[in-house]
Amino acid sequence: MFKRIYNFVLLFKEYAVFSILLVLSLVLMALNDNTQIRHIRGVATVVFGVVQDQLAFVPRYFSLRKENDILRRMNVDLADEASQLREAKLENDRLRRLLGFKDVSHYPLLAAKVVGKNLTLLRNTITLNIGKLDGVLPHMPVVGDGGLVGVVANVNDHYAIVRILYNTDFRASTKSQRARVDGILAWDGEDLILTNVAKNLDIVAGDTLITTDYSSTYPPNIRIGTVSEVAEQQGSLFKRVLVTPGVDFVKLEEVFVISYIPDSERSELEQSLQQKLRR
Amino acid sequence: MEHYVRSTLAILVLLLLQTTFIPFLSVGGFLPDVLLIWVVYIAVTRGQLEATITGFAVGLLQDAVTIQFFGLSTLTKTLAGFVAGYFFNENLTEQTLGSYRFLLITLLSSFVHNVLYYGIFLQGIQDALFTSMIEFSVAVSLYTALVSVFPMFTFVRKYRFSQSL
């Protein structure tokens, strides 16, 4: 093997020696720092750049593969980051709206996150991540950025279950903000309706509905929603008033529990009257 | 060994001539290159390998003495020795030396040498690079070839003398 190489070198010894001496000469020349060498370096840089540019179309398989891996990983990281940012922005928007509500509310509010939802039953509820230890008590009203959400039905140390508007057990004394027409808000399993609205009363689609002073559970003037449709009922003294709630329960994620404790004196008086009437 | 000593001495003498006496023979600023003639002589008499190495050594010495553009003469004379070496024929050494072929080999080698030399030397300092390079190369090559007539005549006489014996 070595003999072959030796013979080969011997056969082309003139070229080998010439090449070595040529390289040596070029190295000696490169040691200069005169105008000519600087100019040649400049030209060489340009030529090298042009050649490299022309050869750029040749795919560099291994480096491309490595680059691809890095880019793919970066893509996943960035997608994750973008998703988190989008989520943070949406949360920020929601919290800003809630803060707006907090600013106009006259009652102490307890912020809570919705950690569970039941929206397909007749007695629908949501679960909050705060409980007794946070100051939540049964019958406290719950509001979102769009208005009334429901009322606390059950509570333990760390969680609270809220009976929402779409619950057949839910009732709320309601009035039209424009015409001051009263009624009882209820859900019949299909529609949210304002009951006990006599035919002669002035209520039209688009009217905003709010809570009244009559309720011992809800503080007055909390927005509930708007009247979406008003229909006459054959053989009935009342109108059928359909209501669209201000809160989108599907998208609901953050709420406030209102620390509202009804006036006990009033409650006791009302209860004693009820008892007398029963006798 | 004796050959190498003689060769080294000859190079030193020619180098001395090139740097001291030859400048007086300047025509229009152009000088003949006697060291190149020596490299061609080595190429014709000793072959390509020795001519290449001689070219390198001569160029290196010349660069060391002139200190103008270190490495440039080394490069060009190495190339000239290599090119001239293609015309080596050990059976026709004396005929080549004593005929116009020596002039032609010198002219060609000198032209290659000068094109490269001025091609690099004029970089960045001469606007009409190509014209100047050809002009200088042709002038110096012709002058060098003309001067190589003197050794050629010496070889002719030597060759005839050896033929007459």
Q: Among A17, A26, A39, whose Cβ lies nearest the Cβ of B49?
A: A17
Question: What is the dihedral angle through the alpha carbons of A127, A132, A136, A138, rounded to the nearest 10 degrees?
Answer: 80
pLDDT, residue A57, reads 67
pLDDT digits (tens, 9 = 90+) for A215-242: 888 888 889 999 999 998 888 889 999 9
pLDDT, residue A100, reads 67
The answer on pLDDT for A98 being more than 80 is no
CB distance B60 to B82 below 8 Å? no
CB distance B148 to B40 below 8 Å? yes
Mean of all residue pLDDT scores within chain A: 86
Q: Which domains, and CATH codes, for chain B?
A: 2-164 (1.10.1760.20)
Residues sharing a CB contact under 8 Å with residue A2, sequence separation 6 or more, in sequence order:
none
Q: What is the mean pLDDT of residues A74-88?
A: 85
CB distance B118 to B126 below 8 Å? no
CA nearest A155: which of A139, A127, A134, A131? Answer: A131
Distances (CA, A) of A71 to A68, A76, A80: 5, 9, 14
Quick one: angle between helices B100-121 and B149-164, nearest 10? 150
Radius of gyration of chain B (CA): 16
pLDDT confidence band for A101 (50 / 70 / 90) = low
| Percent with pLDDT over 90 in chain B | 58
* Side-chain half-sphere exposure of B96, counting CA atoms within 13 A: 22
- Chain B residues whose CB is inside 8 A of the A39 CB are 123-125
pLDDT, residue A96, reads 75
Q: Which two tokens stand for residue B18?
A: 């090139």
The answer on pLDDT for A191 being more than 70 is yes
Q: What is the mean pLDDT of residues B94-103?
A: 88
- Chain A residues whose CB is inside 8 A of the B52 CB are 14, 17-18, 21
pLDDT, residue A264, reads 76
CA nearest B88: which of B36, B41, B142? Answer: B41
- A 10 A CB-CB count for A136 gives 23
Query: Chain B: nearest CA to A12, how far in angstroms?
Result: 10
Most B CBs within 10 A among A9, A18, A32, hence the mutation to make, goes to: A18
pLDDT, residue B107, reads 95
Rounded CA separation A131/A157 (Å) = 5
Q: What is the mean pLDDT of residues A242-257?
A: 91
pLDDT digits (tens, 9 = 90+) for A36-63: 888 888 888 888 888 887 777 666 667 7
Q: E-strand spans in chain B? A: none
Residues sharing a CB contact under 8 Å with residue A186, sequence separation 6 or more, in sequence order:
A168, A170, A171, A192, A193, A195
ipTM: 0.89
pLDDT, residue A43, reads 85
pLDDT, residue A227, reads 94
Residues sharing a CB contact under 8 Å with residue A121, sequence separation 6 or more, in sequence order:
none
Q: Among A22, A30, A36, whose Cβ lies nearest the Cβ of B124?
A: A36
Binary contact (A38, B124; C-beta < 8 A): yes
Q: How far is CA B2 from the centre of its chain?
A: 22
Q: List residues bridging with A143 in a β-sheet.
A: A148, A256
Rounded CA separation A97/A85 (Å) = 18
pLDDT confidence band for B36 (50 / 70 / 90) = very high
Q: E-strand spans in chain A? A: 109-118, 123-128, 141-144, 147-155, 160-167, 171-176, 182-187, 192-195, 208-211, 223-232, 239-245, 254-258
pLDDT, residue B16, reads 92
Q: Which two tokens stand for residue B127?
A: 């606007």
pLDDT confidence band for A142 (50 / 70 / 90) = very high
pLDDT digits (tens, 9 = 90+) for A160-185: 999 999 999 999 999 998 888 999 99
Q: What is the mean pLDDT of residues A256-265?
A: 82
pLDDT confidence band for B83 (50 / 70 / 90) = very high
CA nearest B94: which of B14, B151, B37? Answer: B151
Residues of B with CB under 8 A from a CB of A: 48-49, 52-53, 55-56, 59-60, 63, 69-72, 74-75, 78-79, 82, 85, 120-125
How many CB pairs below 8 A link A and B?
70
Residues 15-34 of chain A with CB under 8 A from chain B are 17-18, 21-22, 24-32, 34
DSSP sequence for A80-142: HHHHHHHHHHHHHHHHHHHHHHHHH--S-EEEEEEEEEE-SSSEEEEEES--GGGT--TT-EE
pLDDT confidence band for B68 (50 / 70 / 90) = confident
- Chain B residues whose CB is inside 8 A of the A38 CB are 124
Binary contact (B74, A39; C-beta < 8 A): no
pLDDT, residue A42, reads 84
Residue with token string 């032609």? B104
Rounded CA separation A129/A149 (Å) = 15
CB distance A230 to A239 below 8 Å? yes
HEC-encoded secondary structure of B105-123? HHHHHHHHHHHHHHHHHCC
| Residue range A105-262, CATH number | 2.40.10.340
The answer on pLDDT for B120 being more than 70 is yes
pLDDT, residue A70, reads 87
Q: What is the mean pLDDT of residues A11-32?
A: 90
pLDDT, residue A102, reads 65
Domain assignments of chain A as residue spans, ordered by start: 2-57, 105-262
What is this structure's pTM?
0.51
